[in-house]
Amino acid sequence: MAQLTFREAIARGIAQEMRRDESVVFLGEDIGKAGGVFKGTVGLLDEFGPVRVRDTPISEQAILGAAMGAAMTGLRPIAEIMFADFFAVCWDIVVNEIAKSRYMTNGQMTFPLVIRSGNGGGLRFGAQHSQSVENWAMMIPGLKVVVPSNATDVIGLMAAAIRDPDPVIFLEAKALYATKMDVPDGEIVDTLGTAKVLRNGTDATIVSLGYMVPRALEAANELATVGIDCTVVDVRSLVPLDTQTILREVSATGRLFTVEENPRLCGWGGELSSIVSEEIFYDLDGPIVRITTPHIPLPAADALEDMAIPSVERIVTTITKSMNS
């Protein structure tokens, strides 16, 4: 066991896989010498050298295009897009090229690659450096989407993503980079498409993702003090989606609350609500309620950003109100 920050877990997860597989290479802006703008890749250049850990120009299309071309010819690249907002300048490569090419070629190609990116708000960076894009990624056929919420999961899910034969968008909540936890020693390998039940309750099920997971847990603890006993599920992987776990946990309590950092429209909770309504409607004891960032660009000022992103307080009041009505 060692105390590890979320950001240190990134480097450890990548290093674990680069040690065991020569075909794993890593490219992105400022990832090598600088160790990443969020210091998530410190030490990788020293250990693996500049042939495997490559600093790139500010060319997001080239970074992802290169990752794709390398993946289709036998490598397992990891590409970094510094801020998830920057996906907008290279979204073509992600959506039209990487995601579609296996299908279009009738399975002639595979794309074992990982695109990792700093996602979401909480750091007061303003609208162009704070967006949560998990809903963009989730709606594209051909992309797997993973969003870890703690350091141990970062390592295990990173390993699973790198070993996976398909393209994985790996979104790291920037607001969690500084969080710490005890992480087991040795190799950690997790499984994509598995949600985790973090707390068992009887009254309501809170389903959350990434940055929202610690808040959901804290809210559940507060709710317990007023007699509302909640299950908390960490989705971890939007595609593939572990609907079995989620449906089971919603059925058990009869209530579903989603806590989503993405702006309201087409957030993952909308899809989940639809699945729950179609498949376990008669197990529900009350309405499904989505707690999300409003449908606005994220403001910069700390006071405003705090109003926008679901807070522990907002989760508690929303659930209390709904459970008591």
Partner 1 sequence: MTTTTITAGPTDFETKLGMYRSQVALRQFEKRAYDLFLENLVKGTSHLSLGQEAIAAGFATAMKPTDWTYATYRGHAHTLARGVPMTPVLAELLGRSNGLMAGKGGSMHLTSVEHGVMGSYAIIGAHLPIACGAAWSAQYRGTDQVAVCFFGDGSTNIGAFHEALNFAAIWKLPVVFVCENNLWMEYTRTTEVTAVKHPAADRASAYGLESIIVDGNDADAVYDVAVTAIARARAGEGPSMIEAETYRHGGHSRADPGKYRPDSEVAEWLAKDPIPRYRARLLEAGATEEQLAAIEAEVAAEVEQATEEAKAGGIPGEDLLMKDVWADGGSSWRN
The catalytic residues are 129
With contacts defined by CB under 8 A, name the span among 61-69, 179-187, 218-226, 254-262 that binds partner 1.
Answer: 61-69
CB of 284 to partner 1, least distance (A): 19
Sheet holding 230-234, edge to edge: 196-199, 230-234, 204-208, 256-263, 289-293
Site string for partner 1, 139-158 (x = CB under 8 A): --xx----------------
Residue 260 makes contact with partner 1 by CB under 8 A: no
CA–CA gap between residue 113 and residue 119 (Å, rounded): 18
Q: Measured on CA atoms in the order 209, 215, 219, 221, is the torsion positive or negative?
A: positive
Q: In this structure, what token pair is assigned to residue 125?
A: 């960076």
- Count interface residues toward partner 1 (CB under 8 A): 49
CB nearer to partner 1: give 67 or 309: 67
Give the contacts of 129 (CB within 8 A, at least 6 positions apart).
83, 85, 123
Cβ contact 244:194 at 8 Å: no
207 CB neighbour count, 10 Å cutoff: 29
- Tell me which residue has tokens 């707390």: 199
Residue 21 makes contact with partner 1 by CB under 8 A: no
DSSP one-letter code for 311: P
- Residue from 103, 202, 287, 302 binding partner 1 (CB under 8 A): 103
CB nearer to partner 1: give 77 or 310: 77
Phi-psi region of 186 (alpha: psi -120 to 50; beta: other; left: phi over 0): left
CA–CA gap between residue 242 and residue 253 (Å, rounded): 18
Residue 227 makes contact with partner 1 by CB under 8 A: no
- Residue from 19, 21, 47, 105 binding partner 1 (CB under 8 A): 105
CB nearer to partner 1: give 95 or 309: 95
Q: Are strands 168-173 and 237-239 parallel, antiparallel or unpaired?
A: unpaired
Letter string b/e over residues 253-262, b meaning 16 or more CB atoms within 10 A of that residue's CB: bebbbbbbbb
With contacts defined by CB under 8 A, name the span among 3-11, 67-75, 170-178, 227-235 that binds partner 1.
Answer: 67-75
In the region spanning residues 205 to 224, those forming contacts with partner 1, defined by CB under 8 A, are none
Residue 165 makes contact with partner 1 by CB under 8 A: yes
Question: Read out DSSP for 30-90?
Answer: T-STT--TTS-STTHHHHHHHHHEEE--S-HHHHHHHHHHHHTTT-EEEEEEEEGGGGGGT
Residue 303 makes contact with partner 1 by CB under 8 A: no
- Residue from 18, 53, 68, 217 binding partner 1 (CB under 8 A): 68
For residue 259, list its beta bridge partners.
Answer: 208, 291
With contacts defined by CB under 8 A, name the span among 28-36, 65-73, 151-159, 198-206 that binds partner 1.
Answer: 65-73
Residue 49 makes contact with partner 1 by CB under 8 A: no
CB of 259 to partner 1, least distance (A): 20
With contacts defined by CB under 8 A, name the span among 55-63, 148-156, 174-182, 223-231 that binds partner 1.
Answer: 55-63
CB nearer to partner 1: give 141 or 186: 141
With contacts defined by CB under 8 A, name the span among 7-15, 90-98, 182-190, 283-291 that binds partner 1.
Answer: 90-98
Instruction: Give the binding site for partner 1 (CB under 8 A).
Output: 25, 51, 54, 56-57, 59, 61-75, 77, 92-93, 96-97, 101-110, 112, 141-142, 165-166, 193, 239-244, 275
